Structure 1
């Protein structure tokens, strides 16, 4: 027993020493270098070797089927107006736009402004204090009533649509044999790219870093940047409105269950311009919403591992938030916090390198060197958002009740 106590004392003293900090720090560094060369590089090769189908202009399309652009909107503002304005300026010669707006007078008024365009159909969602909102999938189904042919493009009310984006998504459907095409993700609005916190989000949330790219996916169908043939809708009917899971995952179930393959584009230019939180407050709110959705998904799917991961995230975040106190209480715990923080920082550096290799420099603004210093602050913000979500679990319970 005495030997065990002595061993514990020795390990405790060692954990407080600078040698412990150096040793574990080297292990974390070696781990991240190893992951970069043996995982990240493999993921990068998968993206670079799968080049999207090439097309130069609209004249290269074999046909011009009707393109039905569907925009559900609930409690939106100026970004919604910009979205509809961008759609009204598209040069594709055969477009019908179906907008389903509601939630506020501002949203409805913005939608009504576009009634002047003959190819715009404006629907009004039911909602308000007396009646709950339709929900995004139900709003989408309301729009599908007005579609009977051609292609469908699904987007969100805070996105900005360009001719180049549309061309990249419809090309595999018209000139190829695909049934559903999804863009590579999102990118910030041009006006937001100057914000350092947006630049950080651009590479730190780069989806292909976490999931190896494959041309065909069997997971989800984005509601913000997806194009599909009407035959897909004919096959599935309406999208299921009763699943209590993320909307993109639910749409994926509906489509994949009918045997359709979802084709994913890899080029950065197939990413849709959308609103990235340009301020600290909005970034914290978005991070909090992301964790709540992850927890809700795990709860309704009875996915114990996902729930455990979220709870571990809460506990580790609490630990890191108060870590400066440990310098006065226990130096070993303080060192452990520093090492965890260093591990997160190196992970973000890997994401930065990944992004720089995959995305051509001419498609985004240069990252200033100061962002590597600010990255410490942004990581700490993410940790604070995790803790804020933990203390907001009461409101999460109310959200769960509302979804049942």
Structure 2
């Protein structure tokens, strides 16, 4: 009896996994490249929240500042940094006219709050088209902004892109990069299918108008994480969301160096996942459960 039950569970899990791979995840392979545009790029604003990121800003901010794009501004918001972040940003702003440096307000505890910082930068942005990345992140190409902008059409309000992690030696790095890639296959495939449920803030774009229309981060302002996935869970739908998978649209981030830091990051992400819509919880939960029983 037990063998029959286990066999039935295995077969059912196999069939469901087959559906996910052959009807959902395979879409990434055949996803068409963004159409090339040589003119009429909309002006945009790049927003970066930075907390104690002096070294990363020194290394990576020039790769954003020197993008091949006709009209863009960069807003970097210093989120209560204790290192040399303010000094580094001051040096850059003296050389680049399109760079604006903002300071985030402190919490009562004196710590930073990324959602509050991002909201300040979004409201300050001059343009409707916004592109987000992190201070410890860099685009792989100087065509990054052009690729993101090229994904927009008349009805598009949100563009979801891929943010990878940098290669380092060791098992932890392999695990982080594999998990990041597989998660991206999931959320990009479902978004392409018409069921967007998350994105990563290190490579995400949306319009200021959709941020204001959905009242920003208000519904989850007291949750530490979720400035990316919880916002997408609330604001994105099959009509207003597109994905971009071109290589030039990719960004790369610096990965965690210890299991403790990695687990803390995962715990924050999982706490945000509990706030997803019921439909999205079902989609993700079914895939994870059947994958567990299958393997």
Taking structure 1 as the reference length, what is the TM-score of the superposition?
0.56
**Are 2:163 and 1:180 aligned?**
no
User: How many residues were matched structurally?
Assistant: 277
Pair 1:40-2:16 in alignment: no
- Whichever of the two has the greater Rg, that structure is 1
Quick one: structure 1 residues 50 and 221, their matched pair in 2 at CA, closer, same or farther if it must change by over 3 Å?
Answer: same
- 1:94-127 CA-partner distances (Å, limit 9, x unpaired): 1211111022132222222211111111112233
Structure 2 residue aligned with 1:99? 76
For 1:123 and 1:223, locate their aligned partners in 2 and report how far apart those are by CA, in whole Å: 19
Classify 1:247/1:238 alpha carbon distance in 2 versus 1 (closer, same or farther; 3 Å). Answer: closer
Instruction: Find the counterpart in structure 1 of residue 262 from structure 2.
Output: 286
Higher relative contact order by CA 8 Å / sep ≥ 6: 1 or 2? Answer: 2
2:181 equivalent to 1:201: no
Corresponding residue to 2:104 among 117, 125, 142: 125
Q: CA deviation at 1:236?
A: 4.3
1:166 match: secondary structure: helix
Residue 63 of structure 2 corresponds to residue 86 of structure 1: yes
SS at 2:252 equivalent: strand
After superposition, the C-alpha distances for 1:351-381 in whole angstroms (9 at most, x for unaligned) are xxxxxxxxxxxxxxxxxxxxxxxxxxxxxxx
Q: How far apart are 1:294 and its partner, in Å?
A: 1.7
Could you say if the C-alpha distance between residues 114 and 241 of structure 1 is closer, same or farther in structure 2, counting changes exceeding 3 Å? farther
Aligned CA RMSD, in angstroms, stands at 4.0
Match of 2:203 among 225, 242, 249: 225
Whether the aligned pair in 1 keeps the contact of 2:147 and 2:246 (CA below 8 Å) is no
CA distance in 1, matches of 2:249, 2:75: 22
Instruction: Give the aligned partner of residue 171 of structure 1.
Output: 150
Q: Distance in 2 between matches of 1:104 and 1:97?
A: 22
What residue ranges of structure 1 are gaps of 5+ in the alignment? 1-10, 12-19, 307-342, 348-404
Quote the offset at 1:221 in angstroms. Answer: 4.9
Work out whether residues 103 and 125 of structure 1, in 8 Å CA contact, stay in contact via their aligned partners in 2. Answer: no
Q: Is there any run of 5+ residues in structure 2 with no aligned partner, and where?
A: 282-290
Give distance in 2, aligned partners of 1:256 and 1:30: 34
Q: Which has the higher helix share?
A: 1
Q: Are the structure 2 counterparts of residues 28 and 274 from structure 1 closer, same or farther at C-alpha, using a change threshold of 3 Å?
A: farther
